């Protein structure tokens, strides 16, 4: 069975996270460890973090994923920008270890020079992993391919992961909306199977650690990153074929669907659970 969860707010501290996750019926969660839209951050409150670690374990919420802030770009050509992004990843690896998260998710970067950008990413990730000697794994997320984004083709991700020295600490986050918007069809059982086989050929299915389970508001190959509610977007019924695919069984599925309030999350959780129940009946 797949494990379902949401990206969950850390407002008012980490000690509040587990309660929010339980309210949303989460079995796994993703969080930011700091403001995702800035560079500054506060030193973590160890007591606050200890409460979260204890309560998450008691609620059997696992695994826990930390998402990198949006500003760092490890594919940057400018040495100052690249170094700052690498330092940010190092900090996130440290923070993930403190809050008991096993993974740090980062977007594939952006560069006008694809090959040079991939080389920069490999260099930065290797440097961060060598600097922070804990057990936290870096997961690179596929992109929709807007502008100069890299990582919208599986081959890009395969090239990045193959360049990482510590293979035990590198993997992939597969975002369903991003893949669809990048041109990978997910609307039928056959299309899902073809896409996952292509992923396996380019990267290796064993490198896939978590699915960002998002429908898409925009069309196949649009390259516009717009998440939508489960089963209500352009992927539609395909969301069920994704949830049902045998090679994804047992994987954590994190939803990053639009929300105005708790009700939106509960509706998306119910829709996702219905897909899992349907699989069990067949």
Looking at residue 282, its pLDDT comes to 43
The H-assigned helical ranges of the chain are 17-23, 46-58, 79-98, 114-131, 154-162, 176-182, 189-202, 238-244, 262-281
What residue has token string 């199977």? 193
Q: How confident is the model at residue 277 (pLDDT cuts 50, 70, 90)?
A: low
What is the torsion angle, in degrees rounded to the nearest 10, for the CA atoms of residue 73, residue 124, residue 158 and residue 213? -50
Query: Phi then psi for 69, rounded to 5 degrees?
Result: -60, 165
The structural domain count of the chain equals 1
Burial of 52 (0-12, 13-18, 19+ CB in 10 A): buried
Give pLDDT tens digits for 244-259: 999 999 999 999 999 9
Q: Residue 230 is part of which domain span?
A: 3-281
| pLDDT grade for 278, boundaries at 50, 70 and 90 | low
pLDDT band at 281 (very low <50, low <70, confident <90, very high): very low
pLDDT, tens digit (0-9, with 9 covering 90-100), for 83-128: 999 999 999 999 999 999 999 999 999 999 999 999 999 999 999 9
Which pLDDT belongs to residue 200? 98
pLDDT digits (tens, 9 = 90+) for 6-45: 999 999 999 999 999 999 999 999 999 999 988 988 999 9
The domain that contains 199 carries what CATH number?
3.20.20.150
- pLDDT for position 214: 98
Q: What is the pLDDT of residue 280?
A: 44
Tokens standing for residue 128: 């961060």
| CA distance linking residue 226 with residue 207, whole number of Å | 25
Supply the pLDDT for residue 276: 85
For 73-82, what is the mean pLDDT?
A: 96
pLDDT of 132 strictly over 80: yes
């Amino acid at each position: 069975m797949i494990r379902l969860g949401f990206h969950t707010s850390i407002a008012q501290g980490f000690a509040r996270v587990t309660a929010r996750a339980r309210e949303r019926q989460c079995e796994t969660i993703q969080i930011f460890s700091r403001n995702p839209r800035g560079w500054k951050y506060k030193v973590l409150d160890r007591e606050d973090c200890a409460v979260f670690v204890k309560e998450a374990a008691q609620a059997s919420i696992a695994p826990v994923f930390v998402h990198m802030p949006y500003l760092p770009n490890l594919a940057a050509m400018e040495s100052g920008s690249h170094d700052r992004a690498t330092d940010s990843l190092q900090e996130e690896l440290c923070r993930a270890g403190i809050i008991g998260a096993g993974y740090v998710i980062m977007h594939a970067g952006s560069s006008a020079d694809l090959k040079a950008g991939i080389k920069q990413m490999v260099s930065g990730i290797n440097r961060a992993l060598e600097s922070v000697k804990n057990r936290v794994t870096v997961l690179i997320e596929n992109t929709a391919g807007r502008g100069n984004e890299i990582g919208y083709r599986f081959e890009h991700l395969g090239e990045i992961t193959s360049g990482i020295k510590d293979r035990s600490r590198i993997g992939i986050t597969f975002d369903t909306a991003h893949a669809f918007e990048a041109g990978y069809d997910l609307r039928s059982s056959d299309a899902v199977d073809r896409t996952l086989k292509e992923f396996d050929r380019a990267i290796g299915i064993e490198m896939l650690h978590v699915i960002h389970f998002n429908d898409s508001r925009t069309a196949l190959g649009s390259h516009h990153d717009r998440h939508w509610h489960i089963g209500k977007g352009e992927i539609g019924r395909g969301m069920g074929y994704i949830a049902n695919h045998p090679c994804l069984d047992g994987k954590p599925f994190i939803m990053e669907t639009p929300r105005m309030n708790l009700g939106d999350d509960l509706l998306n959780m119910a829709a996702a659970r219905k897909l899992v129940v349907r699989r069990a009946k067949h």
